[in-house]
Amino acid sequence: MSLEAVVQIECCRACASTALDTVFDLGSMPLSDGFCASATEPDARYPLQVLFCADCGLAQLAHTVAPTILFADDYPYYSSYSDTVVENARANVAAALARHPVSADGLVVEIASNDGYLLQHVRNKGIPVLGIDPAAGPVAAARKIGIDTKHAFFSSAVATELCDQGLRADLIFANNVLAHVAELSSFVEGLFYLLRDDGLAIIEVPYLRRLLDHGEFDTIYHEHLCYFSVTALERLFRRHGLFLNDVELIDIHGGSLRLFVERRANPSLEVRRLLDEERADGLDTAAAFQGFAHQVQDLRAHLNTLLRDAKARGASIAAYGAAAKGTILLNSFEIGPDLLDFVVDRNPHKQGLYVPGVKLPIKAPETLDRQPPDLLLVLAWNHKDEIMRQLSAFAQDGGKFVIPIPEVQIVGA
Ligand code: JHZ
Ligand code: ZN
């Protein structure tokens, strides 16, 4: 592990306090999206430890793996491979433009615009768009469908550069990016600069409350540097002259917050309600993680027993979805080739590669028709309804789904 590859933080990523307590530790884990070209390729492993800031309430990783390693040119995540994500984007755009109309001479910016899955819906309405994304593959895919995209990590410097070109945004989307940002303050400062005085930023982040309530420990991985509560977010924005004025709870990615952020304070009743609720339930202190490690241990025992018993009875088992979270679940629970035959995923960028650590081969979903397993472990459990719908024939033929989270569940036809 070279020095530049990973850095241990010395103070809170949001407020610079040094009052940080360790609340959860997964030891050393391979990179969740670091898919391998061969089964023998050695894996880089990095510590995966969650700290809680006593001052601002932000849960965060103790270590930062260099973004250039995490989001390299072969970064395999393409939003458009999930119908739910694309549909969510379409509905999100329609609702956003209803809430905050933008004219044909305005500008809508998406930060972490990936392959253009969201901005295409804005562009189709005749509104100018600009995407910003650091991953070369998805940027190329976005440009191919005509979405103007800047290839960069968003920061205060990038925002200033755009402002200098006379660009400011009426509407900014930033979905599932805030938790990935190593330079959190620079990012939020950049939002402040880029947003017009009367602009609106709509930001989606996975919600810490759902992670804890549903035992979604596998969403803790090196790409996710922060685990947000409303309390921590409200303080973070305020520190940079921005205000959390409204919030919606949405189901995407295991339970997320959709935040509405502006340059003037006008908090809704829902923001106040969630802040009160978090305080009453102790989500603003490290006690929020009490019992979490035990909950994960119980899940591990339950899932391993189920799979090992099935295997001992001669069942064949495969997994569905080479999701980033799947890498963590398989590696931390030590579920490898002795139990599973393969993993299928419909993203062709992942097919032919191996899941890091456990080195399970990733194949196309059609493999299930030729080699149907008795049990299918659904690693992309957040998409379980979409997946089970697609595989109704597998279930009709007697195949069973194992859903690991929020609790181990076997589902048949
Ligand atoms: P999915 C990603 O995590 C990566 P992942 C990232 N780090 C992040 O922050 C979170 O999202 C929020 C496949 N699939 O969406 C596609 C099918 O094969 O849960 C994906 O490889 N067939 C940016 O990777 C994987 O499953 C299907 O029908 O955990 C799902 O990954 C569907 C629906 C998905 O995100
Ligand atoms: Zn802090």
Residues with CB under 6 A from ligand 1: 77, 81-82, 176, 223, 253, 321-325, 345-347, 350, 380, 382-383, 386-387, 390
Q: Whose CA is nearest to atom 22 of ligand 1?
A: 346
- State the pLDDT at residue 1: 44
Specify the residue with its C-alpha closest to ligand 1, atom 26. 321
Other beta carbons within 10 Å of 250: 15
Dmax over CA atoms of the chain, in Å, equals: 67
HSE value, Cβ hemisphere, 13 Å, CA-based, for 180: 20
Residue 73: CA count within 13 A, CB half-sphere? 1
pLDDT on residue 77: 72
Residue 349, token pair as written in the block? 């960028």
The yes-or-no verdict on residue 3 having pLDDT over 80 is: no
Mean pLDDT, residues 4-18 taken together: 96
Q: In this model, does residue 398 exceed pLDDT 90?
A: yes
The confidence band for 60, taking pLDDT boundaries of 50, 70 and 90, is very high
Q: Which of 81, 220, 368, 401 to mutate to test the pocket of ligand 1 (most atoms within 8 A of CB)?
A: 81
Distance 14 CA to ligand 1 centre (A): 27
Q: Note the pLDDT of residue 188.
A: 98
pLDDT, position 87: 84
Return the pLDDT at 254. 85
Q: Is the pLDDT of residue 74 over 80?
A: no
Q: How confident is the model at residue 216 (pLDDT cuts 50, 70, 90)?
A: very high
CA of 386 to the centre of ligand 1 (A): 12
Report the alpha-carbon distance of residue 347 to residue 76 in Å, rounded: 8
**Considering the chain, what percentage of its residues have pLDDT values greater than 90?**
91
Burial of 105 (0-12, 13-18, 19+ CB in 10 A): exposed
Q: Which ligand is nearest to the CA of 205?
A: 1
d(CA 304, CA 300): 6
Is the pTM for the entire model greater than 0.85? yes
The arithmetic mean of pLDDT across residues 67-72, rounded, is: 82
Q: Which residues contact 394 (CB under 8 A, 6 or more apart)?
A: 368, 372, 376
Q: How far is the CA of 160 from the centre of ligand 1 (A)?
A: 32
Averaged confidence pLDDT in the chain: 95
Instruction: State the Cα–Cα distance between residues 65 and 7, nearest whole angstrom.
Output: 7
Which of 89 and 410 is assigned the larger pLDDT? 410
Substitution site in 70, 71, 77, 343 for ligand 1 pocket (most atoms within 8 Å of beta carbon): 77
Ligand 1 atom 35: residue of nearest CA: 323
Which atom of ligand 1 is nearest to 326's Cα?
29
pLDDT in tens, 308-336: 999 999 999 999 999 999 999 999 999 99
Q: Which atom of ligand 1 is nearest to the CA of 83?
A: 33
Per the structure block, which two tokens stand in for 116? 């253009």
Residue located nearest, by CA, to atom 3 of ligand 1:
324
Question: pLDDT tens, 336-379?
Answer: 999 999 999 999 999 999 999 999 999 999 999 999 999 999 99
- Which ligand has the shortest distance to the CA of 326? 1
CA-383 nearest atom, ligand 1: 33
If you count them, how many residues does the chain have? 413
* pLDDT tens profile 33-48: 999 999 999 999 999 9
Mean pLDDT of 11-18: 98
Please tell me the distance between residue 80's alpha carbon and the centre of ligand 1 in angstroms. 10
Q: Closest-lying ligand to the alpha carbon of 17?
A: 2
Ligand 2 centroid, distance to 292 Cα (angstroms): 21
- CB-based contacts of 54: which residues, under 8 Å, 6+ apart? 17, 19, 20, 21, 285, 286
Query: What is the Å distance from ligand 2's center to 35 Cα?
Result: 33
Atom 23 (ligand 1): residue with closest C-alpha? 77
pLDDT surpassing 70 at residue 2: no
Distance between CA atoms of residues 1 and 6, nearest Å: 7
Residue 186 CB coordination number (10 Å): 17
d(CA 217, CA 282): 19
